[in-house]
Amino acid sequence: MLDVENISTYYGNACALYDVSFSVTENEIVSIIGANGAGKSTLMKSVMGTVRPREGKIVYKGKDITHVQTHKIVKSGIVYVPEGRDVFTKLSVEDNLTMGAYSKPAKAKELNALHEEMYEMFPRLKERRKQMAGTLSGGEQQMLAIARGLMSKPDLIMFDEPSLGLAPIIVDEVFDRIQAINKRMGISVVLVEQNAFMALSISSRCYVLENGKVAMQGKSSELIDDETVKSAYLGM
Amino acid sequence: MQAVILQLAVSGIAMGFVYALVAIEYTLIWNACGLLNFSHEKIITMGGYVFVGTCLFQLGLPNIPAIVLAVILLAIFGIAIAALIFIPLRNSTRLIAVVATVMLGQVINEGVILIWGSVALMPKNFLSGVSQILGATVSKSYVYIIIVSIIIIAVLQFILKKTKIGKAMTCVSQNKTAASLMGINVKVSMAITVAISFGICCIIGVLTAPIFTVKQQMSTMIALKGFCAGVIGGFGNLPAAIAGGLILGVVENFAGLILPSVFKDVVAFALMVVFMLFFPDGLVGVKNRIQKHIAKSQMEKLS
Ligand SMILES: Nc1ncnc2c1ncn2[C@@H]1O[C@H](COP(=O)(O)OP(=O)(O)O)[C@@H](O)[C@H]1O
Ligand SMILES: [Mg+2]
């Protein structure tokens, strides 16, 4: 459903992505791993159009979206849950969720049902619904960012380092929800992670980014046993 | 004496609301575009001229339709300025942005002289006369300023808190990238904010027309004092800007009781300097500090 074809992205003259291609098909979880600065976030931002690739093409559901404005890309069904969560700190949890549904105009009743669905999935958010998002813990903010992303009922959701800075027990919870989003809701998932083991264990395919290039790609079940991946990313 | 105090209170509150509206008007643009709109003084003046010069005198409209038309024209002007200047400048360096808005003010000033001439205009039978409040005689224009300001502030709150467009504006002011990732068209949201800001500028021009008459310098003082109000309240915060404006209006009026009247304008600027030196975050900062202090002392009591 998403095809990124040979894109190169620059910040000024510095090349952050060089000739990168990757694809996501319906209903799968694809992971992207790589060290800090490898270009993972830049790849996500290039898809969303918050930075623009200088070369190459991005096709979503058969439509070229390389030059489409970000808010229209969101409307067409791709949601990006950014690194560092980026929740609206001065809005309540409830309002953050409402804003997540911005691109899909919904009647008050449907909107309420959507809220309830999210609270069922993330009960902790329900307790904190009136609280300012800025006062939530890191784990809660991550849950909120995920729930906010789901509010627009995307077909493809991309998570950028959702486990960053979270306690191990919360990390398990986050990965559990990401799997549920894929299995139960049938949403395709791109998972960007430095936590390579977790990413490989829940994804079907994986891309390894190194210095802005795709260094390896393949089935996650095979990469997890690969010697280079083991030594470079799994610390074995 | 009581009558004098009441008179001073009413006119102080009214001017306070004017400063508050000014603070709101530029804070909206500051929050949405990250720009300090130094041209706001001239836009208020332009609003006054469009209302009196064009809508009342040239078109001969009755008061209310004249105000509505003037506000709409200024809002449209705001959209154009947003598209041509404010939105393209949002990522430029501060200095360029400052120079650009100052120059915009100059261009508008020249434009106003070109279109309406450099004569002072006075609307006839507009917000004129006096009313009696508890034995005090107060000018009706002050009463109207208070009523209209309260309505504007309430409507603005409603828009920001309850409507989809307003919530999008709030998101854009907090985090533009995140806002665009929600599917918000950030540029359109900025343009709407600027349109609302210019509309408020126009209303300020309309409300102060009977007090200052419509002329080139009609808004110089209130534009400056509006900045003071923002500093006193806490920059970038709308409720704080309103509080800052009201305090400023009342304090400077009562200072006129003790100080010679020539010092009246100095009070506002002295107050601003004091705040900049000792409370740089304004009343919001003071409130936060007090809250922290209370929380801390409670923690100490508990332990
Ligand atoms: N806004 C930016 N301006 C300039 N360089 C950037 C910017 N964002 C990222 N980079 C650079 O691009 C490269 C890739 O960054 P990024 O995509 O954030 O990596 P990752 O997400 O894999 O950690 C890094 O060298 C980083 O320094
Ligand atoms: Mg990153």
Share above pLDDT 70 across residues of chain A, in percent, rounded to a whole number: 100
pLDDT above 80 for B40: yes
- Range of the structural domain that residue B71 is part of: 2-302
* Contact present, A78 and A155 (Cβ < 8 Å): yes
Distance from CA of A72 to the nearest CA of B (A): 7
* Domain end marker among A129, A153, A177: A153
Q: Verify whether the Cβ–Cβ distance A86 to B182 is below 8 Å.
A: no
> Taking the model in full, what pTM does it have?
0.91
State whether A99 and A166 are in the same domain. Answer: no
Length of chain A: 236
CATH number, residue A207: 3.40.50.300
State whether A115 and A126 are in the same domain. Answer: yes
Mean pLDDT over each residue of chain A, to the nearest integer: 94
By alpha-carbon position, which residue is closest to atom 14 of ligand 1?
A: A39
Q: Verify whether the Cβ–Cβ distance A71 to B180 is below 8 Å.
A: yes
State whether A235 and A163 are in the same domain. Answer: yes
- Range of the structural domain that residue A88 is part of: 83-153
pLDDT above 70 for A236: no
Q: Which residue has tokens 């991309």?
A: A158
Structure token digits, residue A130: 């009136």
State whether A181 and A236 are in the same domain. Answer: yes
Domain count, chain A: 2
CATH number, residue B140: 1.10.3470
ipTM of the complex: 0.93
* Contact present, B241 and B24 (Cβ < 8 Å): yes
State the best of A47, A69, A79, A99 to mutate against chain B, taking most chain B CBs within 10 Å.
A99
| Residue A164: strand, helix, or coil | coil
A37 Cβ below 6 A of ligand 1: yes
State whether A18 and A124 are in the same domain. Answer: no
Q: Rounded to whole angstroms, how far apart are CA atoms B257 and A205?
A: 78
A34 Cβ below 6 A of ligand 1: yes
Q: Which of A46-60, B49-63, B254-268 has the lowest mean pLDDT?
A: B254-268
Best of A41, A52, A164 to mutate for ligand 1, by most ligand atoms within 8 A of CB?
A41
- Under the banding of pLDDT at 50, 70 and 90, the label for residue A195 is confident
* Domain end marker among A153, A174, A190: A153
State whether A73 and A160 are in the same domain. Answer: yes
State whether A138 and A160 are in the same domain. Answer: no
State whether A160 and A72 are in the same domain. Answer: yes
State whether A91 and A51 are in the same domain. Answer: no
**A55 in contact with B, Cβ within 8 Å:** no
* Domain end marker among A153, A177, A192: A153
State whether A166 and A236 are in the same domain. Answer: yes
Structure token digits, residue A109: 């009743």
Domain count, chain B: 1
State whether A34 and A87 are in the same domain. Answer: no
User: Which residues in B have their CB inside 8 Å of a CB on A?
Assistant: 164, 167-168, 170-171, 174-175, 177-178, 180-186
Q: Verify whether the Cβ–Cβ distance A89 to B185 is below 8 Å.
A: no
Task: Give A101-148 pLDDT, tens digit per residue.
Answer: 999 887 889 999 999 999 999 999 999 999 999 999 999 999 999 999
Largest CA distance in chain A: 53
State whether A136 and A94 are in the same domain. Answer: yes
